[in-house]
Amino acid sequence: MTTLNASKPVTTDIERVTPELVERAGTFQAAILADVAGRRGTLNGRVQALGRHMKVAGPAVTVEVRPGDNLAIHAALAVAKPGDVIVVDGKGDLTCALIGEIMSTQAKATGIAGFVIDGAVRDTDELASGDFPIFAGGRNPCGPTKSVAGRVNCQISAAGASVNPGDLIVGDADGVVVVPRESVAAILLDAQKKVDAESRRIAAIRAGDTRAPWLEKELRAVGMLAEGEAL
């Protein structure tokens, strides 16, 4: 098991969720994974795909930067491996873009699976119509500096979600969810069960069973219906 050194600015050796689990995870919606993970682990809804067609799944390479500086992201591009998702704690700052077309082109060329950035990006007209997944908190034409130290492959908080290096990242049109690496296998089993259950419920609704079977019980539990009372 990899032990992260909090005092080391750049960690190059991390444990990742396996490619087999990443492939399976990519078949599920982020919403399904978030539900079975206890309705937690999602990034704030401000972090969205530049293009609604964009989807991403892969192990996290984490980056912490000072607002408006992308030096550590360049370091992450140098150490990330094909299939990784670079997740950046940009402090939610939208005054400067942290990446644009050049860095995205570099990331795609080296096999990186995508970017998730709690911050701004630019060149978005070109990037939004492309096939390289980018999730960001906003847009700004102002470019970043490259002069402030950051950290690579440390624990971060990105848009309210805790992310450790090697955790599973899944993003789609709804947003981004983080699943702790050690929980991925179990979460994927639960995800399949939920998909199966939802498919059965949708089929039942279409067949005419339109009343939620749990509704009255929950209404009584919160005092919206008296015992014995029905809708």
Instruction: Give the chain's domain count.
Output: 1
Could you read off the pLDDT of 3-56 as tens digits, one per residue? 555 568 999 999 999 999 999 999 999 999 999 999 999 999 999 999 999 999
Residue 198: inside a domain, yes or no?
A: no
Residue 171: inside a domain, yes or no?
A: yes
Could you read off the pLDDT of 102-115 as tens digits, one per residue? 999 999 999 999 99
Residue 228 has a pLDDT of 85
SS in 3 state form for the chain? CCCCCCCCCECCCCCCCCHHHHHHHCCCCHHHHHHHCCCCCECCCCCEECCCCCCEEEEEEEEECCCCECHHHHHHHHHCCCCCEEEEECCCCCCCEEECHHHHHHHHHCCCCEEEEEEEECCHHHHHCCCCCEEEEEECCCCCECCCCCEECCCEEECCEEECCCCEEEEECCEEEEECHHHHHHHHHHHHHHHHHHHHHHHHHHCCCCCCCCHHHHHHHCCCCCCCCCC
Q: What is the CATH number of the domain that holds 111?
A: 3.50.30.40
Could you read off the pLDDT of 54-85 as tens digits, one per residue? 999 999 999 999 999 999 999 999 999 999 99
Residue 210: inside a domain, yes or no?
A: no
Question: What does pTM read for this prediction?
Answer: 0.92
- Residues of the domain holding 84: 19-188
